[in-house]
Amino acid sequence: MRKQTIFFVLTASILVASQAQAQQATNLKNMPAVMHKWLLRSHRIEVAPSIGITLNDAYTRSLLMDVNAAYHLNDWLGIGLDIAYGAPLKTGLTEDIEAERSKVDGTSYSLSRSYLNLIALPYVSFTPFSGKFVVFDRFLGYADLHIDIGAGLAYVGATGSLGSKATWNAMVGVGMRYFPIKGLSIILNFRDYMVPRILNMPKFGTSKNKLTNNLAVLVGVGFYFPSKPKRTP
């Protein structure tokens, strides 16, 4: 009788241990891959002033003063509004053309040019990659990679005989955010503003209106509201 009691106790103990182990395995299987993750974008408003310049215009670069305002629906999707004001800067090519033309004509010559004067467009922002920023095993903050797509209005400024005009524009871009603290980020954006315009008007002849790619690099600072983000379980 004593042997039977010992056997029963051992069998019951093994069954209880197996059931607990199976329950633990199930719980681990259902647990998320990352726990206590900071949701740095989800349900937060982002206001990001920045400054930048267009890079690939042969005749006039635009110095851009830009403001983005976005609401992040979750940690990977946001909707926003991009507003940028542009001031014209002559390129070296324009200065050379004007200098040579002035020598030929004997008078001061100014090349008629267009530039991006004002941009206003709604956009959608996707954040496919995000995580901790670590250098030499030292945690320095959080970082992400985002993609922006939008379309809206543009006002093309002009000098000389070219006339200014309002038109449409589309934008695609990619950028990075670095969060040294949870309520602020440093932003680097590369954006291509596609705008139909006449680049320049020579003294003799005509130029055609065409769709131009205006690649811009922008550096800014993002402020987030509320200042403290949510966290996963």
Output 31 or 98, whichever has higher pLDDT: 98
Judged against a pLDDT cut of 50, whether residue 165 lies above it is answered with yes
Other CB atoms within a 10 A radius of the CB of residue 116 amount to 28
The pLDDT tens digits of the residues spanning 74-133 come to 999 999 999 999 999 999 999 999 999 898 888 888 899 999 999 999 999 999 999 998
Total-model pTM: 0.82
Structure tokens at 54: 């267009």
- Could you tell me what percent of the chain has a pLDDT over 70? 83
* CATH fold of the domain at 37-231: Porin (2.40.160)
Please report the pLDDT score of residue 205 as a whole number. 59
Contacts (Cβ under 8 Å, ≥6 apart) of 74: 39, 41, 42, 43
Judged against a pLDDT cut of 80, whether residue 12 lies above it is answered with no
Please report the pLDDT score of residue 25 as a whole number. 46
Judged against a pLDDT cut of 80, whether residue 56 lies above it is answered with yes
Distance CA 18, CA 156 (A): 73
Q: Mean pLDDT throughout 166-179?
A: 98
Distance in Å from the first CA to the final CA of the chain: 51
Please report the pLDDT score of residue 37 as a whole number. 85
Distance CA 181, CA 191 (A): 25
The pLDDT tens digits of the residues spanning 199-228 come to 988 766 567 889 999 999 999 999 999 999
Contacts (Cβ under 8 Å, ≥6 apart) of 175: 145, 146, 148, 187, 188, 189, 190, 191
Judged against a pLDDT cut of 60, whether residue 60 lies above it is answered with yes
Distance CA 29, CA 23 (A): 10
